[in-house]
């Protein structure tokens, strides 16, 4: 590999030149092992964007690669299985030499297809080679019941037969996805959905290397790293992985959802959709609000009223995060503000981004809507309790007992919230607890953040039964 990099513009173009350059050609598993060892030695992360697996999934995968084992990832939806599989591409060399024009990326020194063997025998060192990039060495297939052996392995090409070749001639085959990924990585998503007859074809490829096409066998010693993903629920509801195929995967690695709110929040921040005009509207989400969004998902994963076999994807957190920012943006545009900060009054809009991503145990729409509201309330309460003790707001609550009340609305200007706190400033002793709380929430520096923090504190006190909340058309009023 060093030779090719050092003389990038003069890479070998024939088998003879490649041989003179002493270019090392490795098997896929050896190549991945070699590059992983180098990354471990340099303490480099080869899973960019994968969060929360550093102590669990990634060490298991590293062990499998160092052992030269094919891998199956087992886990519920939204656990980054596909992203991890695609990241394996970065363990391949930047490019490798192949025999030019070969459909299955043959090794220039040890071709396996009959056409390349004949070419090498006739032309020897004059056989031309091409250079294949790592991105071209990855193929992926979503398993569905209609996938055939022809799709994965190959099929007899009637045109080649019509040209006079015998059916037993290997050259009559039109290769499928797996042979075309020779010397690369082939991934199958949702493996249990693959028909059992097709799975048999797979384990022959992985172990015996014998492939039957239309009743005759060919010897096809493919050099392919095969990796798959599956959802545990699929074993019973949609299909199963046949035992001989499971036995041929060296490691079955169990994935999981983020185990801390910190990891969930980091994923939300990383994955939310961004637009070119984000800078113009300056979206700003206080830390406590991110915790509320992550907490909603964490609670859903424990709720007995939600189907846990199906799982609650991290996409729930991401979509909810995007929606509260969007609603804050919509408000900012409407009232003419530049700063975009979500508030508690934006949270009811999460129903749209939550209900479609979780499976309820019942099909009653009203009850499911009520469950989402309960999840939001519980998430607000849990987050409030991590920041505050209710007793610290006793002086502030005294203002309400004296007849004060506050109205909030998702359409209200941020300046109105700031004005309400300023009107109460003559009662400094009573307001000190509120001002300190806003500072702790990092919500004391701008009108939009004051509005966000104030709504959160009011709702937390309401959920602790220290304030009444009266819902009015388009707004709500908090009073003693």
Domain boundaries defined on the chain: 2-254, 261-479
More confident residue, 168 or 108: 108
Q: What whole-number distance in Å separates Cα of residue 373 and Cα of residue 449?
A: 24
| Structure confidence at residue 157 as a pLDDT band (50, 70, 90) | low
The predicted structure's pLDDT at residue 94: 93
More confident residue, 165 or 466: 466
Query: Residue 208: its pLDDT value, please?
Result: 66
Name the nearest CA neighbour of 299 among 325, 320, 285.
Answer: 320
Name, in order, each residue with C-beta under 8 angstroms of 377's C-beta and a sequence gap of 6 or more: 463
- pLDDT value of residue 147: 86
Which tops the pLDDT comparison, 232 or 392?
Answer: 392
Q: Which region among 23-27, 61-65, 93-97 has the lowest average model confidence (pLDDT)?
A: 23-27
* Sheet of 475-479, strand order: 406-408, 475-479, 468-472
Residue 265's pLDDT band (cuts 50, 70, 90): very high
The pLDDT value recorded for residue 46 is: 75
Going by pLDDT thresholds of 50, 70 and 90, the confidence category of residue 188 is very high
pLDDT top residue among 214 and 394: 394
Bigger pLDDT: 404 vs 354: 354
List C-alpha distances in Å: 363 to 297, 312, 352, 367, 373.
Answer: 20, 17, 16, 8, 16
Task: Provide the pLDDT for residue 237.
Answer: 47
Q: Is the pLDDT of residue 235 over 70?
A: no
Q: Is residue 164's pLDDT more than 60?
A: no
Of the pLDDT bands very low, low, confident and very high (cuts 50, 70, 90), residue 206 is confident
Q: How many residues in total does the chain contain?
A: 480
pLDDT in tens, 330-351: 999 999 988 999 999 999 999 9
The hierarchical CATH code for the domain 2-254 is 3.40.50.300
pLDDT tens per residue, range 5-37: 444 457 889 999 999 998 888 999 999 999 999
- Which of 65-69, 106-110, 316-320, 469-473 is least confident? 469-473
Q: pLDDT tens-digit profile of 100-156?
A: 988 889 999 998 888 888 888 898 889 899 999 999 999 999 988 888 878 888 776
- What is the average pLDDT across 279-289? 86
Give the torsion through C-alpha atoms of 157, 162, 164, 170, to 10 deg: 10
Q: Would you say residue 440 has pLDDT above 90?
A: yes
Average pLDDT over residues 170-191: 85
- Residue 274 pLDDT > 70, yes or no? yes
- Give the closest residue to 254 by CA, choosing from 64, 92, 28, 88: 64
pLDDT at 234 over 80: no
Q: Residue 2 pLDDT more than 60?
A: no
What's the rounded mean pLDDT across residues 47-74? 92
User: CB-based contacts of 296: which residues, under 8 Å, 6+ apart?
Assistant: 316, 317, 320, 350, 354, 375, 376, 379
- Residue 51 pLDDT > 70: yes
Percent of the chain with pLDDT over 70: 88
Taking the C-alpha atoms of residue 280 and residue 157, their distance in angstroms, rounded to an integer, is 57
Residue with tokens 């003419």: 336
| Residue (of 456, 453, 459) closest to 471 by Cα position | 459
Predicted confidence band of residue 368 (pLDDT cuts 50, 70, 90): confident
Residue 72 confidence (pLDDT): 93
Query: Is the pLDDT reported for residue 288 higher than 80?
Result: yes
Q: What is the mean pLDDT of the chain?
A: 86
Are 135 and 146 within 8 A, CB to CB? no
């Amino acid at each position: 590999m060093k030779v090719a990099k050092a003389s990038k513009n003069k890479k070998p173009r024939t088998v003879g030149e490649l041989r003179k350059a002493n270019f090392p050609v490795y098997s896929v598993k050896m190549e991945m092992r070699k590059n992983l060892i180098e990354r471990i030695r340099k303490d480099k992360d080869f899973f960019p964007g994968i969060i929360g697996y550093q102590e669990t999934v990634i060490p298991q995968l590293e062990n499998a690669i160092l052992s030269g084992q094919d891998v199956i990832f087992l886990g519920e939806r939204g656990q980054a299985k596909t992203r991890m599989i695609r990241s394996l591409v970065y363990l391949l060399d930047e490019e490798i030499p192949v025999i030019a024009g070969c459909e299955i990326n043959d090794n220039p020194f040890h071709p396996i297809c009959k056409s390349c063997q004949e070419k090498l025998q006739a032309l020897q060192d004059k056989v031309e080679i091409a250079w294949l990039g790592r991105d071209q060495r990855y193929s992926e297939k979503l398993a569905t019941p209609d996938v055939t052996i022809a799709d994965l392995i190959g099929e007899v090409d009637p045109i080649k037969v019509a040209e006079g070749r015998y059916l037993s001639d290997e050259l009559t085959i039109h290769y499928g996805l797996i042979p075309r990924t020779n010397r690369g990585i082939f991934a199958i998503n949702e493996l249990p959905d693959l028909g059992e007859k097709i799975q048999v074809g797979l384990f022959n490829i992985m172990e015996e290397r014998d492939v039957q096409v239309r009743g005759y066998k060919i010897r096809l010693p493919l050099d392919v790293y095969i990796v798959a993903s599956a959802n545990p629920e699929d074993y019973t509801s949609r299909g199963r992985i046949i035992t001989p195929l499971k036995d041929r995967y060296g490691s079955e690695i169990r994935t999981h959802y983020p185990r801390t709110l910190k990891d969930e929040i980091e994923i939300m921040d990383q994955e939310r959709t961004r637009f070119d005009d984000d800078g113009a509207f300056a979206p700003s989400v206080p830390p406590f609000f991110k915790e509320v969004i992550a907490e909603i998902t964490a609670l859903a994963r424990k709720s007995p009223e939600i189907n846990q076999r199906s799982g609650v994807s991290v996409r729930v957190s991401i979509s909810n995060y995007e929606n509260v920012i969007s609603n804050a943006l919509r408000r900012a545009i409407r009232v003419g503000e530049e700063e975009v900060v979500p508030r508690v009054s934006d949270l009811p809009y999460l129903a749209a981004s939550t209900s479609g991503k979780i499976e309820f145990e019942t099909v009653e729409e009203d009850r499911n809507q009520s469950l989402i509201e309960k999840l939001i309330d519980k998430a607000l309460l849990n987050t409030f309790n991590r920041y505050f003790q209710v007793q610290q707001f006793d002086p502030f609550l005294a203002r309400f007992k004296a007849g004060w009340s506050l109205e909030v609305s998702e359409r209200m200007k941020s300046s109105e919230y700031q004005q309400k706190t300023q009107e109460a400033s003559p009662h400094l002793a009573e307001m000190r607890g509120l001002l300190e709380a806003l500072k702790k929430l990092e919500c004391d520096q701008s009108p939009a953040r004051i509005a966000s923090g104030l709504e959160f504190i009011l709702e937390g006190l309401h959920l602790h039964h220290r304030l009444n909340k009266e819902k009015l058309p388009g707004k709500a009023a908090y009073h003693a």
